[in-house]
Amino acid sequence: MTDGTFPLPNADDIVWDLPGDGPQRTALLVLPHAGGNAHAYSDWRDRLPAGVRLLIGQYPGRGARYAEELPTTIADLAGPVAAALPDDLPEDLVVLGHSMGSLVAFEVVRRLAASGRPARALVASACRAPFLPNPSAVYPERLDDDQLVAAIKERGGTDDGILDEPELREIVIPSIRADFAIDDVYRCAADEASVDCPVTVIGGDADPVVPVTALGRWAEITTAGFAEHVLPGGHFYFQQQLPAFFALLDTVLGAAPAPGALTASAAA
């Protein structure tokens, strides 16, 4: 897959749809990290307000899309997601990505704007700005499976039990290789790297993959408003900072915090 056109599988397999109870006035689309899958973010449903409809992108080569050809470009990740979004979405849509997922989110936002379905906001987590080169390329083509697993574990965010079980590892390694190969080389031309919506970037203060000093460069892709937040932690900082992370996210969503979440001022 290289040209951004796709024979689409079932839309429900491309975008998981997890609505809350009651009227859905806002939708949050989440794009997973390199090697990630929709299941890794499904428990976010319990932390979001009931009025927020949670959507999660599922990339080729995993879950119900396991038999599909593996992605080779960012278009192979973003294109099907943008095309498979439900027709009955609320007009208020926020798109969020973590790590490589932030780049996918950026591309999805661009596609939605071009199709007349603009997102209200973009949230980038633990990722370089799209016009910057990757500061922590993995080069999976140079690594054997054991070396790649070691590199993944160093970043965190993946269940080590999956990586340590030979049969499970054999299933997930191909998609991990494909994602990191895309992330290594992706770069949007600076004169094309723009969105029309506000951008919020969040990162960890001890992230070894994306330096905190690089987060502010996301401000250069929009004139519609920008906010930057840094929380304690590494590349998957939010796993240890869930209340603070969701308090920040609630401010973007414009939603009442879910039970147990910190206030925005407490998280800042």
**Mean pLDDT for all residues in the chain:** 89
* Mean pLDDT on 44-61: 96
At 73, the pLDDT band (50, 70, 90 cuts) reads: very high
| Amino acid occupying residue 109 | V
List of residues 6+ apart from 139 with CB closer than 8 A? 184
Query: Residue 170 pLDDT more than 50?
Result: yes
> Residue 16 above 80 pLDDT?
yes
For residue 234, the 8-state DSSP code is S
48-62, 142-156, 208-222: the lowest-pLDDT one: 142-156
232-264 pLDDT, tens digit per residue, is 999 999 999 999 999 999 999 984 444 443 333
Q: Flag whether pLDDT at 214 surpasses 70.
A: yes
- For the cut 80, the answer to whether the pLDDT of residue 178 exceeds it is yes
Per-residue pLDDT tens digits for 80-105: 999 999 999 988 999 999 999 999 99
CA dist 201 and 265 (Å) reads 17
**Per-residue tokens: 157:** 């965010």
Q: Give the integer Cα–Cα distance in Å for 30 and 52.
A: 12
pLDDT of residue 158: 66
CB 199 within 8 A of CB 222: yes
State residue 140's pLDDT score. Answer: 95
Q: What 3-state class would DSSP assign to 121?
A: strand
- pLDDT for 7 equals 53
Q: What value does the mean pLDDT take over residues 15-41?
A: 94
Q: What is the pLDDT of residue 160?
A: 55
pTM of the shown model: 0.90
CA 184 to each of CA 100, 128, 140, 178, 217: distance values in angstroms, whole numbers, following the listed order: 9, 11, 9, 10, 18
Q: Using the predicted structure, report yes or no on whether residue 68 has a pLDDT greater than 50.
A: yes
Phi-psi region of 10 (alpha: psi -120 to 50; beta: other; left: phi over 0): beta
pLDDT for 169: 82
What is the pLDDT at residue 40?
A: 93
Active site residues: 99
Radius of gyration of the chain from Cα atoms?
Answer: 17
* Least reliable range by pLDDT among 7-11, 13-17, 51-55: 7-11
**What is the secondary structure of 175-220 as a DSSP string?**
HHHHHHHHHHH----TTT---SS-EEEEEETT-SSS-HHHHGGGGG
